[in-house]
Amino acid sequence: MKYKRRFNLGRFGGRLLLSLCLLLSSSPLLARTLVVLSGDAEVYHNVAVALRVQLRDSSEVLTLEQLRQDPPAGLAQSDTLVAVGAAAFEQLLQLPPERHRLLATFIPESTYHALLARHGEAWRQKPGLLSAIYLDQPLRRQLQLARLVVPKARRIGTALGPATRHQLAELQAEAKSLNFELVHAELSADDNPVRRLQPIIERSDLFLPLPDQAVFNRTTAKWILYIAYRKRVPLIGFSRKYVEAGAVAGVYSSATQIGRQSAELLNDRADKRAPLPPPQFPKYYSVITNRVAARTLQLELPTDAALEARLQEMSP
């Protein structure tokens, strides 16, 4: 396996460069798996590196820009296409499904379904040729972490927008199974999220933001953190960055973990005639806490490792 010369290594640090060097070997003329990155960001390359470390088949990696400028000769002969990120998935959905299987990875669930509805009619008619590994965590796993962080909490608040409204029934059922009373609001794109969410936060013992751009963009996320701190309500973050910004705890999957799971899925379906499994949530994940936020809210938390171990016991 070998990255083409046009694969840009200049953006990588020494650790990632070392990982790439370990992959160098002779490459076949045609790769069975073509991995297309949505951009040149390091996080996309990290997915590709982890995938190629464990993938048994030959593979080639290109950015979306490289694919558009200089499509590889073996594109039509590649058995499997892997789209890393939303932009690559949107582009590869334009290809006819007769010649390929397509795995979308490192993509939010809501984005996957939105793009599939917009561009994927031909793929939907070919069962077993399309699958995904989502970037976001299953609701139950997030609620289980919330229960571990504040064991005595009774009410958990959240908000649903256009991209997450379909999750309400599942959210209610999972919250009930963990002895939470769900306090929620359903927002439209025209609503003022801060104004609508303040009374929800005030009525909650915990608040669980969901990744929906209509509700939580960069600006509203800061205001929601501020309101939650003022009302002394812990937040469970849906990303590492949100925990670092002030949420008390969160569960997330790294690019490396997503890449590893992608390779395992493809190795299990190495025969190109084998149908791909249904889309799935990450099975590898990590827990992160914000100790400053916890102290401010007078919460005594176990270590990140202890929380992660407990969560894995609850949600293997």
- 198-231 pLDDT, tens digit each: 999 999 999 999 888 777 777 788 888 999 999 9
**289: confidence class by pLDDT, cuts 50, 70, 90:** very high
Out of 84-88, 151-155, 213-217, 223-227, which region has the weakest mean confidence (pLDDT)? 213-217
Across 135-157, average pLDDT: 96
The pLDDT value given to residue 14? 36
Question: Two tokens at 48?
Answer: 């590709």
Closest CA to 311 of 167, 177, 146, 182: 146
Residue among 248, 231, 230, 232 nearest 287 (CA): 248
pLDDT at 84 over 70: yes
Both tokens assigned to 307: 């929380």
Q: How confident is the model at residue 29 (pLDDT cuts 50, 70, 90)?
A: very low
CB 131 within 8 A of CB 276: yes
Q: What's the chain's average pLDDT?
A: 87
Give dist(CA 221, CA 211) in Å, integer: 10
Q: How confident is the model at residue 30 (pLDDT cuts 50, 70, 90)?
A: low
Spatial CA neighbour of 12 closest among 25, 21, 1, 2: 21
- High-pLDDT (> 70) share of the chain, %: 90
Residue 31 — pLDDT band, cuts 50, 70, 90?
low
Does the pLDDT value for residue 27 go beyond 70? no
DSSP class per residue in the chain: ----TTS--TT--HHHHHHHHTT-----SS-SEEEEESSS-HHHHHHHHHHHHH--S-EEEEEHHHHHHS--TTTTT-SEEEEESHHHHHHHTTS-TTS-EEEEEEE-HHHHHHHHHHH-HHHHTSTTSEEEEESSPPHHHHHHHHHHHSTT--EEEEEE-TTTGGGHHHHHHHHHHTTPEEEEEE--TTS-HHHHHHHHHHT-SEE-----TTT--HHHHHHHHHHHHHTT--BEESSHHHHHHT-SEEEE--HHHHHHHHHHHHHHT-STTSPPPPPB--S--EEEE-HHHHHHTT-----HHHHHHHHHHH--
Q: What is the pLDDT of residue 316?
A: 62
**pLDDT grade, residue 5 (50/70/90)?**
very low
Domains contained in the chain, CATH given: 14-134+254-268 (3.40.50.2300), 139-252+285-314 (3.40.50.2300)
Q: For residue range 166-202, what is the model confidence (pLDDT) as tens digits? A: 999 999 999 999 999 999 999 877 778 788 889 999 9
Q: Nearest-CA neighbor of 259 among 97, 31, 16, 72?
A: 16
pLDDT tens track for 117-128: 999 999 998 889
Q: Closest Cα to residue 247, out of 292, 282, 197, 211?
A: 292
pLDDT mean over 300-309: 96
For the entire predicted model, the pTM comes to: 0.86
Residue 81 burial (CB count, 10 A): 25
